[in-house]
Amino acid sequence: MLRVTFQYTEDCPSHEEALTRLRKILTEEGYDVNVDIIKVESDDEAKRLRFTGSPTILLNDVDIDLQANSHYALACRAYKLEDGRISPLPSEEMIRRAIRRES
């Protein structure tokens, strides 16, 4: 069973799009699973959850970005895309690869 956790902060505007993207890819990959959504509201909570920034997607407690930093804080996140650009959102391909890796 695939466990999916979505962590975010309200201050980072990309979290809604990231959640929509995650749910779309899960459906395309044939998963009908609940997404555990966690709103991170303090630096202490960020440290306790090992939150690397908003949005963070964990599959079976593993970050979809294996290169994620280990700085835990209430902050927005940047993802390095396949073409080298930086984005506030993980790419669909990054999400898809992580789902396949964790299945």
Q: Per-residue pLDDT for the chain (103 aa), expressed as one digit of tens each?
A: 899 999 999 999 999 999 999 999 999 999 999 999 999 999 999 999 999 999 999 999 999 998 887 789 899 999 999 999 999 999 999 999 999 999 8
Q: How far apart are CA 83 and CA 99, in angstroms?
A: 20
CATH classification of 4-102, choosing from 3.30.160, 2.60.420, 3.30.1560, 3.40.30? 3.40.30
DSSP assignments along 58-98, one per residue: EETTEES-TT------S-B--EE-TTS-EESS--HHHHHHH
